[in-house]
Each structure stands twice: as C-alpha cells, then as structure tokens.
Amino acid sequence: MDLSELKLTPRRKEICERLELKNSDYILSYYPFRYELNEKTPYADFRAGGQVCFVGELVSYPSTFRKGRFSSTKFKILYDDEILSVTIFNRPWIKNLKMNEIVTIIGRYDGNNKVTASNYYLKDISGTIIPIYPLKEGISQNDIRKIIAYTYEKCESQITDILPSDLKEKHQLIDYKTAIYQIHNPDSKKNLSKALSRLKYDEFLRFYTAMDILKGENQLQSKESKTFNDDKVKEFINSFEFDLTVDQKQAVDEILKDLHSSKIMYRLVQGEVGSGKTAVAMIALYANYLSGYQGALMAPTEILARQHYESLKKQLEPFGVRVSVLYSAMDNEKAAKQLIKNGEADVIVGTHALFSEDAEYEKLGLVIADEQHRFGVRQRQALRSKGESCDFVLMSATPIPRTLASSLYGDMDVSSIASLPAGRKGCKTYLIRKNSIVDILPDIFKKLEEGRQIYVIAAAIEKSDNYKAKDVSGLYKALKERLQPYEVALLHGKLDTEEKQAIMEDFNKNKVQVLISTTVVEVGVNVKNATMMIIYDADRFGLSQLHQLRGRVQRSSEEGTCYLLTDSNDENVLKRLDILCKSNDGFAISYEDLKIRGPGDILGTRQSGLPAFVLGNLIEDTKFIDAARQDVKIITSESDNPEYKRYLDYVMKLSSENVIG
C-alpha cells in the first residue's frame, strides 16, 4: 500500500516522508537497530556507570527545573527498600505523575542512590523486549511504533510470503508475516531470534539473487571496443607531477584493458583516503577521449564537482581535452547543457544534474561516479543510459577487503588501491575524553601561528532538544570569539551554492584559517595547507566516516593531526574510537566498522531505497550467506519451478524499482 491508501494522519504521513518510507513495505521493513531487554537489575547489582532497570513506587512529587530550552525533572522511587533519586532530562510532562504510581525506570546508575533515567514507563515492563528505532529530529520512538503497528494492522491480510516453501522447510524458517510481527513486537528472545534468522536469510537471498541476475545481464551486453593510442596515454601519465604507485598502475591497467575490451566495463575502484583515485579517473577519461567518446565524472556535492573541474581542467586541457562542469542552479546551466549535446565538451564534471532529463550527450562512452555509495541504483542507471553501451566505473573511499567487496558488489570487477603516494605522512589521531577544546588550545594556536589551517567538525547544524550534540552554528559563534585574531568561517549543507563555493574558495586561499563545518567536507575536499582537524561528538560518527574526515588533513607532505572529542564514558564507544588512534589503515578500519555497524551504515545503502542489508552482517552471518548463495544456484538452475520463477520475478521487480543495491 502507498501512503495515500494507508490513510495516515498528516503528522504520520510527514514522518514517513522524512524517513523516506514510501509505502507499507518500507514501513514494515523499518527495523529496530537494537532492543532493550528490560530485565530487572537487583539493587545489590547496581554499579556506578552501569545500566539499570527497576520497577518502583513514586514516593515524591516530581519537580522540574528549566534552563532555556532544556529541563530536568527530579523525583524519588522506592525500590528494594531503597529510596533512589531519579533525574530525567527534557521530559517536563513527567510532573503529572501521581504519588504511589508504579514506574519502570531504565537508565544509568550514578552512585549514591542517584540514577539518570534514559526512559520511563508508567507500568511494570520488566521482562519485556522493547524495540529501539533509528530516529530523526522531532520524531519519537512512540511515533514510529504507532505507525508500524497501524500499518501492520491495515496490511496484515495482504502480507504474502514469496519465499519458496521448500527453502523455508529446508532451513526451518518461520513464515514472513510472523517474522515481521515478531521483529517489531518480540514476545520472547527465542521468537525474536527466529524472526531475525528468517529476515536475515531473506536479505541475503534477495541480494545474491539480484547479483546473479545482474551478472547474467552484464555477460549478455557487449560494446564496440574502444581504440586509442597507448603511447599517448603513457605520455599523459608522465605529465603528472608524481609517479603512480604500484596499486594505481594496476588499477589503470585493468581499466584500460576493460576499455579496449568488447565487454562493457562495470568496475569498482576502491582506495584508501588520499590514495590517488582521482588520478586514475583522469587517465581513464583521457583514454576514453582518445577513442572519440565523451566522459562524465559524477561527484556527490557541488563543492567537489567544482574542485574536480579545476583539477581536471588543469591536467587535461594541455592535451586538447575540453572540460566542462554542470550542476543545478549554475548561472550558465543551459549553455553548459548545449555544449554537452553538441559534443563541444569532451569531459563533463558534475553532480546529479548530469543525468537530469534534459541533459543530452553527443557520444557518451564512460561514466565515473565518485563516492558511489551516495548515489542510488536508479540514478546510476539513468546516467549510464545517456550513452550507448557505456562503460562504468564506481569509485569509493570506503575500502573493504576484496572478498567482502566481491560479496557486496558481486556483479562488478574490483580494483583496490591500498598504498599512499610517496611523501604522504598520514595522520596522528588523539582521543580527548572531553567535548571541548580547552585542553588542546595551545596546540591549536601553535598550528595557526605556523601558518597552517584547521577544520572543526560538528555533528549537527542547529541545536536540538532531541539530538544532544554540539551544533555547527553554536560552535562558530563560540570559536569566532575564542580564536581571534584568526579568521573563522562557517560551512554547512543548508547554505546556497554560491555561499558554499565562496567559503571554500577563501579557505583554499588561506583567507580563512579555521573552517567550522558539518560533514559536508567529508568527501574529496583538498586543501593541502589544512593539517589539523577537531571532531566534536566523535562517538556519533562511524569509524569509516571519521577516517574519511581525517583524510582531509593528510593531503600534503606534513603529518596531519586529528583530535576526536567525546564526553562518552561508554567503554565500547571509547574502545571503538581508540581503533582510529592506533591505525591509519582504511581497509582494517572499514573491516572493524563492518563488524560493529554492518554494511548498511558504512555504504550509506539506506540512501538508495530499502537497503541490501539492514539486519544481516557480512562478518557474523556467514551461515546465512553460505545458505543463500547455495540456494540461488538452485533457484536459477531450476527456474521452470513455479515457486522459483515467482521469486525470480519478484527480485527482478525489486531491482528495477531501486530496492536492491
């Protein structure tokens, strides 16, 4: 059912739209990312800093204290013959609790009979399993739970099980409807485990079936092989101010071989931060130009598109290549599109505007997508369809071991660039257990006095009651004053294109010494004089994202410095962040991130429709992966089986709708 058929209230419809839940399938597949197993903690087992759950009687009226937009409410609970003082933040309505009311408290024990509550329930929920969903600002857990419960009730009779019955029986899997109910409303650990097993297997089987279909399609496709002078390509490579690394040479050789081939290239080039993927892209674009075709390089942001445009223009134009740029709302967008259509632009750099309906190419032969995980399958296909039998390269700075890359990108060939260019010294990373720069101010001023520049990264744009993190606007106001006389600027995604471009231009020219920014600088921004980065609320980022961010300060021959700030006392969080302090190996870090967070978070797959894996984990769930891979062989080899054929048709439909990948 789509949202209109569900007849949601305006508020619920707005929430679904913000979470990109387009219909009932998306809503029911919006799985919890964790569960609270609410088993009562005996008072004797309370330990300072530990998580506790207890059910007690209210023995004092709640009192609320306000400070600006924030509030704290305090009250006392009788539990195990002990009086516990409870504090809960930003829940002012709790003042309506009645004396002697039974309340379940979940939170952190602070010692001395004091508890900071993270949640409360006006009944005894001990022994229950509570699903916890990913949220956005202004959306509560209760909002999500009510939408899912309502959708399940409306659609229950229409939920069908597409999995072939013999596979269900073979692996002793519960039916799909029961699995969906239990994943959102688990009544026991055993039933939750059964639901997870069924839905994880579904994810892997769907994914590997789609990969098998894509492989078959790719093998059927062919193109006219591209002809170009290899000596001219070597001459172009020799024009670089640096020598290619062994890994870069290997990637270039593989791409040139693909271009020469009659098989359509579909290749992933994954590389360490700063490993020189852009140089590889330039060589591919030049070889494609020599063969008489246009080439397109797609970047995830306008800032990066402009930056790529400048660097490609500098390197390619001396060899007769006409380089153009295209992004939405640029002053001469119409004229730029006309140049592309007329074949007067040989290499075009741009954002998603490259595959807008009115963007036409005279003879597009190669598409390179930089940071491919920021683009959906349908978007990639739309750009690829602009050319006939177009070669395609995806470039990612989130490197993962080749065996895992083959699992995730089963329909693609993989090139890996692990080594850094000569002269790069990497980055030293330090964990600061305080969400403040007070202790590192001397280091900051020393770096600025040396004439270097600094990035300061915040997790949020604006202050929010629901998202406790330093916001970029607040940091700008505070640090502008504190870091005088140095010039401080503010950058975030809500600024218009011209403002963002002007700020980055000023930072690039050292007119701005400190750039306070969100993660908009995460990808590809290249300011060699910036050698220090400070990341507030580092616990709110994944390891791979933190590694990419700090890559901005290892672009020169000087060693970069990165400070990770956090006030978290969670041992698991601190252990995770410490991995970055000990390693600069992007492949190893991505592997750790896969173990901790799963591929859905690392690869940004939620941004391109329902993700390939939400529940499944490539490291932990090998038994489901092995089972799914074996079963795909059976399904495809016996496609005349009615149940198998129905399943294959279902997966092909999902793939075409951008639900897989």
Residues forming beta bridges with residue 370, ordered by sequence position? 395
Give the list of residues 6+ apart from residue 525 with CB closer than 8 angstroms, or none: 303, 304, 307, 504, 552
Tell me: the pLDDT tens digits for 169-216?
999 999 999 999 999 999 998 999 999 999 999 999 998 888 787 666
Residue with tokens 């961010």: 549
Q: How far is it, in rounded angstroms, from Cα 232 to Cα 230? A: 5
Give yes or no for residue 454 having a pLDDT over 90. yes
Q: Output the pLDDT for position 593.
A: 73
d(CA 496, CA 507): 17
Report percent pLDDT > 70 for the chain.
Answer: 88
What is the number of alpha carbons within 13 Å of residue 509 lying toward its C-beta? 6
- The span from the CA of 631 to the CA of 122, in Å, is 47
**What per-residue confidence (pLDDT) applies to 607?**
31
Q: What pLDDT, on a 0 to 100 scale, did the predictor assign at position 565?
A: 95
Q: Provide mean pLDDT across the span 9-13.
A: 92
Mean pLDDT over 516-534 rounds to: 83
Q: According to the model, what pLDDT value does residue 443 have?
A: 95
69 pLDDT exceeds 80?
no
* pLDDT at position 406: 63
Q: What is the mean pLDDT of residues 315-333?
A: 91
Say what the alpha-carbon torsion angle 355, 357, 359, 361 is, to the nearest 10 degrees: 80
List CB contacts of 124: < 8 A, sequence separation 6 or more: 55, 102, 104
Please say if the pLDDT value at position 600 is more than 50. Answer: no
Q: Is the pLDDT of residue 373 over 50?
A: no
The pairing of beta strand 102-111 with beta strand 530-535: unpaired
Asked which of 40-44, 102-106, 617-621 is least confident by mean pLDDT, the reply is: 617-621
Query: Which pLDDT belongs to residue 383?
Result: 61
Residues 6+ apart with CB under 8 A from 501: 302, 303, 306
Predicted confidence (pLDDT) at residue 149 exceeds the cutoff of 90: yes
Over residues 591-618, the mean pLDDT reads: 56
Helix/strand/coil (H/E/C) assignment for every residue in 161-226: CCCCHHHHHHCCCCCHHHHHHHHHCCCCHHHHHHHHHHHHHHHHHHHHHHHHHHHHHHHHCCCCCC
Q: What is the mean pLDDT of residues 627-649?
A: 93
289 has a pLDDT exceeding 70 = yes
Rg of the chain over Cα atoms, rounded to whole angstroms, equals 27
Residue bearing tokens 């991995």: 579
Report how far residue 316's alpha carbon sits from residue 325's, in angstroms, rounded to the nearest whole number: 14
- The phi, psi pair for 556, rounded to 5°, reads -125, -175
Instruction: Judge if the upstream peptide bond of residue 485 is cis by omega within 30 degrees of 0.
Output: yes
601 pLDDT higher than 60 = no
Please state, in angstroms and rounded to a whole number, the distance separating the CA atoms of residues 471 and 463. Answer: 5
Position 631 scores a pLDDT of: 95
* Amino acid letter for position 248: Q
- Is a pLDDT exceeding 90 seen at residue 42? yes
pLDDT at residue 605 above 50? Answer: no
3 state SS of 488: strand
Return d(Cα 364, Cα 324) in angstroms, integer: 14
Answer whether residue 661 shows pLDDT above 50: no
Report, as an integer, the average pLDDT of 438-449: 94
More confident of the two residues 180 and 568: 180
Domains and CATH numbers, the chain: 39-127 (2.40.50.140), 183-218+621-661 (no CATH), 230-417 (3.40.50.300), 427-583 (3.40.50.300)
Average pLDDT over the chain, rounded to whole?
A: 86
Of all residues in the chain, what percent carry a pLDDT higher than 90? 50
pLDDT digits (tens, 9 = 90+) for 481-503: 999 999 999 998 788 878 888 89
pLDDT of residue 423: 62
